[in-house]
Structure 1
Amino acid sequence: MPSLAIISEKSFPGTTRPAVSDLVAYCDTHDLVAIAAETHDVVIYRITGHAAFTIKRRNGEAEVTALKWKQDGSVLAVGWNDGTYGLHSGETGRLLSQGSVRGGGREREWRLDLMPDYGDDEDDEGGPVVTQFGWEWHATSVSNGVRGDSNGNDSSLTTEDWCDGAEEDPDHLNAIASLVDGNERDAILALTTNISALDVITVLPKLSAIPSHGLRAAPDGNKFGTQAITDTVFASPGVKHSNVDALLICSSDGHVQVLQDETVKIGTVGVGSKPVMHASCKSSACHSVLCQDDTGELHANFIDLPLHTLGGSLFDVIATNTKRIQNLLAYITQTIRCIQHDFTTGLQFPTRIMTNMNAELAEKQEGDVVTNLYHLAMTSDFTPTMLEWLVDIVKETNHKRWDQAVNAMYTNIHNHLFFNLLPALNRLSIATTTLRGHARFHEGTSNFEAPPALFTQMLEGIDSLRLVAQKMQLLIMTEHRQFRAFSKWTRVMIEIGVAGPGSTGAIETEEREVPNFDYPLLLAYIQDTLTRSQLTRHIVQPTLLQGTRASRGMFFAHPFMEQLGYERTKEALRRLGEVKLGEEFQWTEACDAEALVNLPALGVGLAASVRVAMESVAVWQGKMLTAPTSVAVGAAPDAVVLDLRMEPHVGGEAGRSTTTVLLLSPENTAQLLVLETAHSARVSRDEALTTGSRTIGLGYEVLDASFHALQPALIALVRDEAGGSLLLRHSLPSAQDNDDTEITVLHTFPPSSDSGFEPQKLVIGGRPGKMVCVVFGNEGREWRALDLDFVERGGDGGGAVTTEEFMEDGDGGGDAEMSFA
């Protein structure tokens, strides 16, 4: 009996649910299999059957709705039934970014605080979910009906063309080399492209990771927990104008989000019905989305991407800085949250001790702790209550905890300001200034329609935050010196109290330690800082702004938002410096003067400015997308969609591609229906589509089938008369060849009564020389991984191949090589 080499056999403790093919995704580059487990987690296995890592869902009730690997294996996209989706590292499974396809047409709420969004809102329960992901890495050198010669060069470019980034030579090195050959046009194109790609941020030191010190990180905050992750988030993309990294997110309500570089949203198009499958190819600007309406009718929708615009130098700079601004805003927001957390936790213990002491002193009518400590520092005279408090309550153990907590608080906040916040603000200023410069240069044209004033408003918020952060640095240095003097004095007072005031030991301690006290700092701390640090007004968000949610109009009509501005923050800080000790900070011209110097409040203002600017950019980007071209697929309404692929048209016509749908015939389960649709980009709808079909009879009941990724063939899993199963290879004839083609039996599965394995579904993946067919059976509890290239490599049929043999054969890296392009 014909048999392929078995790479591995795997049994699972529960159902992995491969009955829905989208819930199993094969990583061609690294031979990894992502499976939606019964526990609602996503488990990633190596082809050997060993678990590599697991992606856990915080919400235990959520189920997976879609899985898809990026081509290079660097990212795994996961969709959940609560409408959210996450992009996870293909190496570790950590969350890189997340989003949602829900909203019901409503505007996302505007918040006047920095509370993170953990995705707990269930107002849209039962709303749309992600059904398909579509990754593609396009080369913009592919011409799709644009002017130019056969090589994609345009001999009619003018100075205005290359200034606006209308079209560029995709190969920068060849263009520069052409200068030697005297081709000035290519040299100018290369020069302008590389000048536009100059990135000042690349010469700056790397941003540091953000230590959370126990703070529950928001989804965005998870991206900055370690230095390696932070470096990855802010890695410079370099010069890549010749490529467009596109991601399509298809939702069940018939909408498709188009993203570039995984996080830059280009826009959304409607396909009319629920997407069931996606296909694309590098050499075409077109993406095919197969949809099924409520009646079961299938429609192929073709979405054309403006590759030459998306891959141009102008859009590359805009997309790079847009993505950078979003990441930097998340970084700044997480830093402010960490500062708030460190301030709160650092004062918890000393506040509790002093609160209890104040209650005891009030009961005895002996004043408060500040008055008593000040009296002790000035006179060295212990009252019985203070002696008992220092010796029995504070004592050496609690003093050590007090000292460590406050020292750590000042150190952590200072580090957050110096190593995280200020460097991030500087980088955000550069990115914002870059976009403002392009907005001013292209103002009044369609090249970049975002108003420059939006970026100016962002810069005002950045400068205001920088001023307050610098003021906080000065306060921290002053208060930290004061606290060290207070802590040293308190330790000595405890020693004197333990020895007994007036005793020989106490006198010796006083003579040795008292001359070393810095009384100006000590008294200033007791009087000014002990019960209320001046950092409080800069760190603790005003009560009126906490937890406030509003619509856009209400948000910007809030008195706080109307008073924001760099000059007003600068004036508020100046007036704050004139406020005497014990006086309230008031400014009649401001509705809330303290909010103008408050770090979280200014962070809210900056986040709002960024959101408005990014929405304006998104509106401009969305204008690039055109409505999809749709065609009805000539199949019975209850036909089962097995696979979909797109490839360049056989004739080689530029911008023309062929989409092939593989269907299981509802009338005859021994027949497969192959439908082909040829699509031409950027032409009229009437000329865009031509279709054809053929029926393939296999003679057996078809369980599952899929196209071979590298060959003009399909692989089918069928059931034979004896109750066993066969793996067949059927060559697909070309458009000019309608003759019957050969059917080859690749592998034979014995009846389940003999082997205990009943095949049901298959997944094909791999790369040249290492093609794999993973067959799932027994309701998803087992798999058999088969080497499809076994015969081509000289196999004689039958037997098993070891993991080492499989990894050594053929070209390309195995799962041991986890380097991503």
Structure 2
Amino acid sequence: MADPLAEKLVQRAVNPRHLAYCPTMDLIALASIDEHVHVYRLNGQKVFGVAKKPPANKVNQIKWKPNGKTVHQIDCSAYSQSPICCLGWGINFTDGNKVSLELDKLKDAVTLDDLIGQNPRSTSVDNMPDLPLDLALLDVEACLPKLSPLSSGGIEDDIFSSRASLDTLFQPLTAGSTDSADILVVGFEDGTVHLSIYDFFEIGSFNLQQASRGFGDCRPVLHCSHLYATTHSMLVSTPVGDQEGLHVVPLDLRLLSNAGRYLSLLASKSTQLHNVLRYVHQVQRQMCSDFKASQDLPSRFMANIEETLRERADCTWTQAAYHLVVTGDCHPEVKEWLVDQLGERGHKRWEKAATTGYESVRRLAHENLLPALERFAVLVSRLRGLSRFQLSNANLGLSTQELDGVLDTISCLQLMAHQILIASGLELRQFIAFSAWLRQEIDIQASDASVAEPAEKDVGVDHASTLEYIQGAMTRSRLTRFFTLEARAEEKAPWDLAAEGGSLFERCKRGLRNASMEDPSASRLPTLDALMEHLDRQCNNIFNGIAETQRRSVRFGAPVHLQKGVPSCMDMRMLREHAEDKEEFVLYVVLGPVAHRSEVHIYRLVLEIKNGMSTTKSVERATIKTAGWEVRDVKFIDDEELVLAVSAKLSSRLFRIPYRGIAKASVTLAFAAINERNIGQRTDGNEDHSSVDLSRPDVASVYTWQTFPEGISWAPERIEINGRKGRRVICVLAQDRFHYRVYDLDNSSDGEEVVDTRTTASSDEMMS
């Protein structure tokens, strides 16, 4: 018996389908029936929560990443319009044989759990020098300045609004992660399966109907993988007559072996490139928004006096202001506007809007845009180096010509960023002089002072800068040429940025050299927004080329029919086993009872994987009889045992059952081959030798691990297990769906468990 490590009472009932234990930290994620997601520590403290957004949204799946790292929002709506019904994370070695040999040398110093969690490894598995790999891992990006956080402007933009978030997004590729790639598998109700690496690096979408002609209406149910295997496995539900049938469908990812050691480097750099592209887009949007805001209020002020001057004085505000600075003579209409409409309050608003806008544009260009473009160029150069290594290019899908085009566009953007920095600084200095003169003029006209008095006050006014501002930036800012404002949004792009021949950078450089405020060619320069759209197209072509190459290396294997009927509880686990002096991958599938049956079936599928292609060598099955018990849930603990949660009228239990035939008990679980033509029959005709009968008290007592005594209305509804070394726990959700308990799988005490019937503290009382 085991005493609970933790127990909690939540305020909202938990959806039993959505309970997950973090693989690397003691955190429990769950979703309530009102579609709210909560994450708790073992002491009951709430770490964070995600509230229900639009009414149409609901929680479909909850799955922790294998290393427990943070993953930001991923939009899956482009992959399929159907709901998500299966979510799987898998980590795969790109060279499993090499890692296996080196782990065997290190014995227990480094384990697979250490590699999955990406824990710091004091003893690296890469002991032998590897010059090509070491050169590929030269972390030039670490020498660059860190990107500065941006102000939050929406849900998507929040990922760039904090230092911690940016550091997570732009983590360097360490030596411990070069030999592996984490793969996200998203399954939809319509049978679509989408694959991506490192959260963003998309491989593409596939439909399970490709696996078999009989898969008309199919949906993925479970996903399973192993670090050493290039083949993943999916449990798929398909219509079989008037019932649903369960099939195992192998998913061969030959890209893991084809791209090899360069896959992790390619995926990592492509993911960072995508993140930097999003960052640059957000900087560009903020710069455009801040510049537009700095122009709106002054434009409204000037529009008022402009209309009055045209009607009464037959001149413009620019002419009147220039005349006032040079001669000191103020038109009556200008005086009225300065005193009655603009005044001190209006001047402060004008000054704040313009100064804030110029300073923001200058800061964004200097602190955000230029560093991001520099990092962008380094990442593209890294990919370009891979593309020029022709031996790997065929398996990576990179194009040196396309990457050269991206570098050309980046040079263009860097040139424009420097021009924006120069123009914003110059116009800011001119505006400060203009603002000082305008403030002084408001005071003079408001006090009806004589013309002689302001001559003494004009000593502190920079008339040259004031006149330059009035003639130029006051109505025609140099920055306008770089941003797409409403007046230019409908104009047709003057250049075909995607035209072949010539360097876009050289054309831009010549255009900027020849452009001036009076030269109409200035308006023919591409805007920052147009260049960003062009860069988007170029990068998408690169991403699509990589994805298409990798997508050709993905195939579905031949489906294996297991049984008719889909149980309410099931689990999968893939192992690497030794047989006859060779290694083979074995998939274990445990399925709860179907309909009114009282048997739990465990299937054992032996997979042979050669050159990334898998075939199923054999299918075996073992049976656990559960007559008298209602099976609530079943889960694998590790490579040796599984847990079966059952309940009866008077008591409930958790059984721990070894499923690989190594039990010390007199009754063991054995497997027998099944006839694939008739799943219900066995080839040897012997049913009993491969089953464990829990309806027998002597057998049940052997495998009983936890008992919930009679008289206590606390029965398990769902279990969630973390079987990793050093973190082996089981979380049990009660049937009332308001309580859950966490037990240590390795520590237990003799004797009957004492269950505390007192009310557990509510979630609010347990939060700090």
User: One-letter code of the match for 1:286?
Assistant: T
Query: For 1:262, what is the secondary structure of its paired residue?
Result: coil
Instruction: Decide which of 206, 215, 220 is 1:275's aligned counterpart.
Output: 220
CA deviations 1:701-721 (Å, max 9, x no partner) are 324222242363332332324
Q: Identify the residue that residue 38 of structure 2 maps to in structure 1.
A: 43
2 CA distance for matches of 1:101 and 1:655? 40
Q: Identify the residue that residue 535 of structure 1 maps to in structure 2.
A: 479
Instruction: Decide which of 686, 704, 713 is 1:745's aligned counterpart.
Output: 704
CA positional deviation for 1:690: 1.0
Q: Identify the residue that residue 677 of structure 2 maps to in structure 1.
A: none
* Aligned: 1:611 with 2:540: yes
Q: Identify the residue that residue 27 of structure 2 maps to in structure 1.
A: 32
CA positional deviation for 1:761: 2.5
* Aligned: 1:53 with 2:48: yes
CA positional deviation for 1:458: 1.0
CA positional deviation for 1:795: 7.5
CA positional deviation for 1:684: 10
Quick check: 1:718–1:726 contact (8 Å CA) kept in 2? Answer: yes
Quick check: 1:629–1:685 contact (8 Å CA) kept in 2? Answer: no
Give matches, 1:233-244, under 5 Å: 233-239=169-175, 240-244=177-181
Task: Return closer, same or farther for 1:409/1:734 CA change in 2, 3 Å cut-off.
Answer: same
2 CA distance for matches of 1:470 and 1:652? 67
Q: Identify the residue that residue 227 of structure 1 maps to in structure 2.
A: 163
Q: Identify the residue that residue 159 of structure 1 maps to in structure 2.
A: none
User: One-letter code of the match for 2:468?
Assistant: A
CA positional deviation for 1:396: 2.2
2 CA distance for matches of 1:174 and 1:428? 30
1 CA distance for matches of 2:205 and 2:79? 13
CA deviations 1:773-794 (Å, max 9, x no partner) are 33334563x1220414375366
Give matches, 1:265-664, under 5 Å: 265-272=202-209, 273-295=218-240, 296-306=244-254, 309=257, 312-365=260-313, 367-442=315-390, 446-502=394-450, 508=453, 510-540=454-484, 560-563=496-499, 567-568=503-504, 570-572=506-508, 574-575=510-511, 578=514, 581-582=517-518, 584-585=520-521, 594=524, 596-633=525-562, 635-649=563-577, 651=579, 656-664=584-592
Query: For 2:295, what is the secondary structure of its paired residue?
Result: helix
Instruction: Decide which of 198, 207, 212 is 2:147's aligned counterpart.
Output: 207
Q: Identify the residue that residue 700 of structure 1 maps to in structure 2.
A: 628
Q: Identify the residue that residue 197 of structure 1 maps to in structure 2.
A: 137
Quick check: 1:439–1:452 contact (8 Å CA) kept in 2? Answer: yes
* Aligned: 1:136 with 2:63: no
CA deviations 1:254-313 (Å, max 9, x no partner) are 233332222222344443331101122334333221010133111111223347647744
Query: For 1:646, what is the secondary structure of its paired residue?
Result: strand
Query: For 1:659, what is the secondary structure of its paired residue?
Result: strand
CA positional deviation for 1:602: 0.6
CA positional deviation for 1:366: 5.3
2 CA distance for matches of 1:376 and 1:710? 85
2 CA distance for matches of 1:40 and 1:636? 32
Quick check: 2:283–2:369 contact (8 Å CA) kept in 1? Answer: yes
Quick check: 1:284–1:656 contact (8 Å CA) kept in 2? Answer: no
Quick check: 1:706–1:715 contact (8 Å CA) kept in 2? Answer: yes
CA deviations 1:300-341 (Å, max 9, x no partner) are 112233476477443333223212211111111111011011
Quick check: 1:26–1:34 contact (8 Å CA) kept in 2? Answer: yes
CA positional deviation for 1:414: 1.1
Q: Number of matched residues?
A: 701
Q: Identify the residue that residue 74 of structure 2 maps to in structure 1.
A: 98
Instruction: Decide which of 714, 732, 737 is 2:659's aligned counterpart.
Output: 732
Task: Return closer, same or farther for 1:372/1:173 CA change in 2, 3 Å cut-off.
Answer: same
Quick check: 1:40–1:60 contact (8 Å CA) kept in 2? Answer: no
* Aligned: 1:12 with 2:10: yes
2 CA distance for matches of 1:312 and 1:467? 38
Task: Return closer, same or farther for 1:543/1:378 CA change in 2, 3 Å cut-off.
Answer: closer
Query: For 1:681, what is the secondary structure of its paired residue?
Result: strand
Task: Return closer, same or farther for 1:10/1:315 CA change in 2, 3 Å cut-off.
Answer: closer
Q: Tell me the TM-score normalised to structure 1 length.
A: 0.77
Query: For 2:236, what is the secondary structure of its paired residue?
Result: strand
CA positional deviation for 1:68: 0.5
2 CA distance for matches of 1:434 and 1:770? 39
Query: For 1:688, what is the secondary structure of its paired residue?
Result: strand
Task: Return closer, same or farther for 1:176/1:50 CA change in 2, 3 Å cut-off.
Answer: closer
Which segment drifts farther, 711-720 or 598-607? 711-720
Quick check: 1:40–1:64 contact (8 Å CA) kept in 2? Answer: yes
Query: For 1:201, what is the secondary structure of its paired residue?
Result: helix
2 CA distance for matches of 1:566 and 1:411? 35
User: One-letter code of the match for 1:241?
Assistant: T
Quick check: 1:32–1:46 contact (8 Å CA) kept in 2? Answer: yes
Quick check: 2:398–2:546 contact (8 Å CA) kept in 1? Answer: yes
1 CA distance for matches of 2:367 and 2:24? 37
Quick check: 2:90–2:224 contact (8 Å CA) kept in 1? Answer: no
CA deviations 1:582-608 (Å, max 9, x no partner) are 55337xxxxxx63x4311111100111
Query: For 2:570, what is the secondary structure of its paired residue?
Result: strand
Task: Return closer, same or farther for 1:176/1:152 CA change in 2, 3 Å cut-off.
Answer: closer
CA positional deviation for 1:674: 1.5
Task: Return closer, same or farther for 1:581/1:771 CA change in 2, 3 Å cut-off.
Answer: closer
CA positional deviation for 1:654: 5.4
Instruction: Decide which of 774, 779, 782 is 2:731's aligned counterpart.
Output: 774
User: One-letter code of the match for 1:783?
Assistant: H
CA positional deviation for 1:637: 2.5
CA positional deviation for 1:474: 2.0
Q: Identify the residue that residue 679 of structure 1 maps to in structure 2.
A: 607
Task: Return closer, same or farther for 1:149/1:58 CA change in 2, 3 Å cut-off.
Answer: closer
Quick check: 2:719–2:730 contact (8 Å CA) kept in 1? Answer: yes
Quick check: 2:255–2:550 contact (8 Å CA) kept in 1? Answer: no
1 CA distance for matches of 2:580 and 2:363? 59
Task: Return closer, same or farther for 1:560/1:150 CA change in 2, 3 Å cut-off.
Answer: closer
2 CA distance for matches of 1:513 and 1:423? 44
CA positional deviation for 1:152: 10
Query: For 2:63, what is the secondary structure of its paired residue?
Result: strand
* Aligned: 1:66 with 2:61: yes
Quick check: 2:571–2:636 contact (8 Å CA) kept in 1? Answer: no
Task: Return closer, same or farther for 1:57/1:629 CA change in 2, 3 Å cut-off.
Answer: farther
Query: For 2:248, what is the secondary structure of its paired residue?
Result: strand
Q: Identify the residue that residue 712 of structure 1 maps to in structure 2.
A: 640
Task: Return closer, same or farther for 1:673/1:520 CA change in 2, 3 Å cut-off.
Answer: same
2 CA distance for matches of 1:395 and 1:600? 37
CA positional deviation for 1:672: 1.3
1 CA distance for matches of 2:494 and 2:637? 57
CA positional deviation for 1:484: 0.9
Measured on the aligned residues, the alpha-carbon RMSD in Å equals 3.6
CA positional deviation for 1:204: 1.6
User: One-letter code of the match for 2:624?
Assistant: I
CA positional deviation for 1:372: 2.2
Instruction: Decide which of 720, 723, 739 is 1:783's aligned counterpart.
Output: 739
